[in-house]
Structure 1
């Protein structure tokens, strides 16, 4: 089985960074996926455009956004629908489901 890279893309000083990284680790453990977690700071609009960055935090497995959106790339906070309402990070279940789908 090849190793994957889960990249958490963040804007500087993202208030959800610590939780996003913890959530990424929990999701990988939950599904037993062999992946390295990396962080990537998005500092300008050109970088956001190049990486199709949909807001902070974003979760990309091997370069592909796990939560695709039609929103234009932007240096902004990202909002996820969760069972408790809108949140700055996805539910663990949604992240594990997305990881499972993208890694197979």
Structure 2
């Protein structure tokens, strides 16, 4: 399974997601994670980037919000503790196909 973490440098939440994905992949040899820096509005539009961090599993944005604008902005995730800059480990695990 391929996971792509799309992000831009000005949004610090991508580092939290990267750490959580590293925790998950330490237990899942079937997962390969790629980090992809989105550097411009043109990149954002081409990638249909709905904010940083975006998590794609096998090319699909698994937390997609059709109403979210495309662009270089920080993304907000709804977690059990309220809005946050990153999904919880449990939320990430829930969107991954079983090993």
Q: What is the TM-score when the length of structure 2 is the normalising length? A: 0.86
Deviation at 1:67, TM superposition (A): 0.7
Show structure 1 runs of 5+ residues with no match.
none
Among candidates 30, 54, 61, match of residue 34 of structure 1: 30
Structure-2 separation of matches of 1:46 and 1:79: 22
Q: Could you say what the CA RMSD is over the residues aligned between the two structures, in angstroms?
A: 1.9
Which structure dedicates a bigger proportion of its chain to helix? 1
In the alignment, which of 17, 41, 54 is matched to residue 50 of structure 2?
54
**5+ unaligned residues in a row in structure 2: which ranges?**
none
TM-score normalised over the length of structure 1: 0.82
CA distance in 2, matches of 1:27, 1:65: 18
Asked if 2 retains the 8 angstrom alpha-carbon contact of 1:8 and 1:57, the reply is yes
